[in-house]
Each structure stands twice: as C-alpha cells, then as structure tokens.
Amino acid sequence: MEPIESRPPGEGKRVCIVGASGKLGRYMVRHALDRGYEVVGVCREQSVPKLADFAERITVVPGPTDDRAVIERAVDGCDAVFTVLVPWGMHHYASGTAQAVLDHAPEGARLIFSCGWHITRDGKDVYGWKFKLAVAVVGRLAKLVRAVDLDDQVEACRRVFDSGTRWTVVRGSTLEEGPGQGLPVWSRHVGDPILASDRTRRIDFARFMVEAAENDDLVREAPAIVGRLTRSALAHAETRT
Ligand SMILES: NC(=O)c1ccc[n+]([C@@H]2O[C@H](COP(=O)([O-])OP(=O)(O)OC[C@H]3O[C@@H](n4cnc5c(N)ncnc54)[C@H](OP(=O)(O)O)[C@@H]3O)[C@@H](O)[C@H]2O)c1
C-alpha cells in the first residue's frame, strides 16, 4: 500500500500578516511558518528589527499598515491575510488598515482580523458591568490624550462585517503570556458562560487566527474566544460530555 502523504496545510500557499512586528503578529508569523505557509509581513519601518529572528524566512514589506500602496503590494497573490486591528492615534488607523485590506486582497482570500470582546456584530453580546466600565474608562481616557480611538476599531469592524469578503473577526478576551494551551474555544456571543474566565494566552489567540484560514465554518463569523484550559472552558466541556 502507498504511504499516506502528510503535507503541511500551508504548503504552496502564501499569507500576509499585517502588523507582523507586534506581540500577536510575531506569534502569528511563527504559527504560519510552522504550518508551511510562505509569509509576507507588514510593519512600520521602525519596527522591522523586531522581525530579525525571521529575517531569512519571511518577506517584510515596511510601511504604515493603513498605507494602501503598501497593503496592495503585500497582499498580492495571498490566499489569506491576517490583520492585527489596533486603534492607535486619532487618524483612523484601524479603519484605514481594514479598508486597505478589504480593497486589495485577492478575491476569495480568507481575511482574518483581530479585535477585542468590546466589538459586537449583532448587538446580542451581554457584557458584565466591570467590562463595560473598563471599556468606557479606558476608551475615554485614551481618547482624551489622543492615543487610542476605540470608536475607530468599531468602525473598522463595521466595514469588515458589511463587506462581501470571506472574513472572520476574532474577538480576543484579556490576553496573557505563557506557553500554549491549544486552540481556544469560542462562542458567538460574549455572555456565554463558556467565556466567563476571560483569559487567553496570546500565543493561542495567534493560533486561532492562523487556523481560522483553513476553517470554512468560521467564514463570516465573529468568534469570541477563551483559553481552552480556563476554568469556564473546562466546566463547559464537562457539561457537554
Ligand atoms: N491586550 C489585550 O489584553 C487584548 C485583549 C483582547 C484583544 N486584544 C486584541 O489583540 C490584538 C493585539 O493586541 P496586543 O495588545 O497583543 O498588541 P500587539 O500584538 O503588541 O500589537 C500592537 C500593534 O500596534 C502597533 N503599534 C504600536 N504603537 C503604534 C503606533 N503608535 N502607531 C501605529 N501602530 C502602533 C504595533 O506595531 P509596532 O510593532 O510597529 O510597534 C503592533 O502591530 C489587537 O487587535 C487587540 O484589539 C488585545
């Protein structure tokens, strides 16, 4: 009998990671390389040295992620684009980045975006008072010092949801560092008891983003995720078995 060939899922496929030099971005680069993808990374010019560990293994396109010409060049020929949506500054950085990806990614490409639980697709998420307070306080303070504009991340996601592309918006819970625990579990809505622990390892968030590219069940979904070994995830698993 012929041996069954096991080929890495990314073999022969090219992906782009927009925001590759950040913490989440670098984890995504690692996961993507491990899965056999050819990787193109986009990051600000001054952050290119943060990708030095991958220098020989990836192509870096330096420039602001909301620069349409930079994104057009980087996503050319890509099967999937992973975008870290960050609402830095008051110049529509997140929505500009999302729009550039939506406009220039090849037709049919999988487009995966990162954000937090505060983004809601259908208004059916149920938030606790502590979460609402934290978002209100952080959002207002950040806007006051003109550092971060959470409303722009909301606008970025609205554009993604309204697009006809093959998108997934991955909504991360509070992130922490540490060794990977495996693929996070997810729910369509914040408020689901499975998510109550509100913790995900950043390395696992990145894994969820990268694996989403091969999971058609996640097309046009906005999964809210939580670490698979958290108390709430384990409790939920027990009730299901
Ligand atoms: N932190 C959390 O607890 C948390 C919770 C839920 C969801 N999330 C989501 O997870 C994703 C990653 O967040 P993270 O906190 O882990 O951060 P991160 O991965 O370190 O990413 C930060 C990104 O922001 C860029 N950046 C920093 N300063 C900038 C500036 N002044 N102008 C433009 N870009 C700038 C960084 O680029 P450089 O490398 O060029 O600096 C990097 O790409 C985001 O989508 C966030 O909404 C985070």
pLDDT tens, residue by residue, 132-179: 999 899 888 888 777 888 899 999 999 999 999 999 999 999 999 999
- Write down the pLDDT at residue 100: 98
Q: What's the predicted TM-score (pTM) here?
A: 0.96
Q: What is the arithmetic mean of pLDDT over 182-186?
A: 98
Q: What is the arithmetic mean of pLDDT over 39-61?
A: 97
Ligand 1 — pocket residues by CB below 6 A? Answer: 19, 21-25, 43-44, 47, 50, 84-86, 88-89, 93, 114-116, 172, 174-175, 202
Name all domains of the chain by residue range, CATH numbers in brackets: 14-240 (3.40.50.720)
Query: How big is the CA angle at 189 (ends 19 and 9), to the nearest 5 degrees?
Result: 50
Compute, in angstroms, the gap from residue 171 CA to the centroid of ligand 1: 13
Strand bridging mode 224-226 / 185-187: antiparallel
Compute, in angstroms, the gap from residue 23 CA to the centroid of ligand 1: 7
Compute, in angstroms, the gap from residue 22 CA to the centroid of ligand 1: 6
